[in-house]
Amino acid sequence: MSMGAFPKETAPLEQTEVRRIGPDLYAEALNRFRTLLERAQRCGLPEPTAITLATTDGQGYPSDRTVLLKAVDERGFVFYTSLASRKARQLAANPQAALCFFWQPLMEQVLVEGAVEQVSDEEADAYWASRPRTHQLGVWASWQSSRLDGPRTLDLRWVEQALRFLGQPVPRPAYWRGFRVVPHRIEFWKRRAARLHERVYERHEAQWTKAWLAP
Ligand SMILES: Cc1cc2nc3c(=O)[nH]c(=O)nc-3n(C[C@H](O)[C@H](O)[C@H](O)COP(=O)(O)O)c2cc1C
């Protein structure tokens, strides 16, 4: 995936809280993230946009899984999933998430923590339209994270959906949504010989701050 797949940075910014508070430090952190992602994309990794996404259920029990980053801009970090999924149900109970990017060839890690909101229908529709038809049919065929009778069940459901939408565009199901993590903490880690390995940007109420952490 190229960085061109992400929304243009020149798009009008929403008047988010982030814009009103320390935009310089936040912009610095985002620029550093983008530079790392571009470097990771040039490394030939199969999934340079892969994220470990951690959520918790209503009792505070954590779980994690891999998702793909589909957009990043001043508003936050976006991934897509099904409202049926375990992660989406957890986010409904506790709309907070942690993201971990680790690019092994670079030995660089970025950690993002923040509140989670759903992206607009328009934004989700635009992403959906960019997906291959086979993937779109796969979303209709799968009630994510539910139990299946057996491995062939999914194939049969996929064929059913292919016939259902034969000769027409496949619409985005209302349960397929984008989620945006609006960061309040971004931490960078790089393995190096120097003593200072980590750098953390944090938002405390109305201010972004930047500090060094002991490795
Ligand atoms: C490389 C990779 C990329 C994935 N990308 C996504 C994704 O973008 N969205 C998604 O819902 N699941 C994605 N998955 C599947 C999830 O890891 C997970 O198995 C699924 O979403 C169900 O998780 P849950 O039951 O915790 O909600 C991906 C898995 C891998 C290995």
In the chain, the amino acid numbered 161 is Q
Distance, CA 64 to ligand 1 centroid (Å)?
Answer: 10
**What ligand 1 atom has the least distance to the C-alpha of 81?**
11
What is the β-pairing status of strands 96-103 and 108-118?
antiparallel
Distance, CA 201 to ligand 1 centroid (Å)?
Answer: 27
Query: Is residue 12 predicted with pLDDT exceeding 50?
Result: no
**φ/ψ (deg, to 5) at 97:** -145, 160
Report whether residue 146 contacts ligand 1, using a CB cutoff of 6 Å.
Answer: no
Helix 151-164 and helix 133-141, axial crossing angle in degrees, nearest 10: 120
Contacts (Cβ under 8 Å, ≥6 apart) of 96: 55, 56, 113, 114, 115, 116
Which residue is listed with tokens 């952190």? 29
**What ligand 1 atom has the least distance to the C-alpha of 63?**
26
- Length of the chain equals 215
How many helices and strands in the chain, by DSSP H and E?
6, 9
Which two structure tokens, joined as six digits, stand for 188?
């960078």
Per-residue pLDDT, 39: 96
79-90 pLDDT, tens digit each: 999 999 999 999
CA distance 110 to 198: 10
158-168 pLDDT, tens digit each: 899 899 999 99
Report whether residue 65 contacts ligand 1, using a CB cutoff of 6 Å.
Answer: yes
Q: Is 77 exposed, middle or buried (0-12, 13-18, 19+ CB in 10 A)?
A: buried
What is the β-pairing status of strands 96-103 and 50-56?
antiparallel
Per-residue pLDDT, 142: 84
CATH of the domain spanning 15-135+174-213, picked from 2.30.110.10, 3.40.50.1100, 2.60.40.3680, 3.50.50.60: 2.30.110.10
Model confidence, pTM: 0.86
Mean pLDDT of 39-52: 95
**What ligand 1 atom has the least distance to the C-alpha of 64?**
26
Query: Is residue 42 predicted with pLDDT exceeding 90?
Result: yes
**φ/ψ (deg, to 5) at 37:** -60, -40
CA distance 139 to 127: 13
Domains in the chain: boundaries:
15-135+174-213
In the chain, the amino acid numbered 7 is P
Banded pLDDT at 33 (limits 50, 70, 90) = very high
102-154 pLDDT, tens digit each: 999 999 999 999 999 999 999 999 999 999 999 999 999 888 778 888 878 88
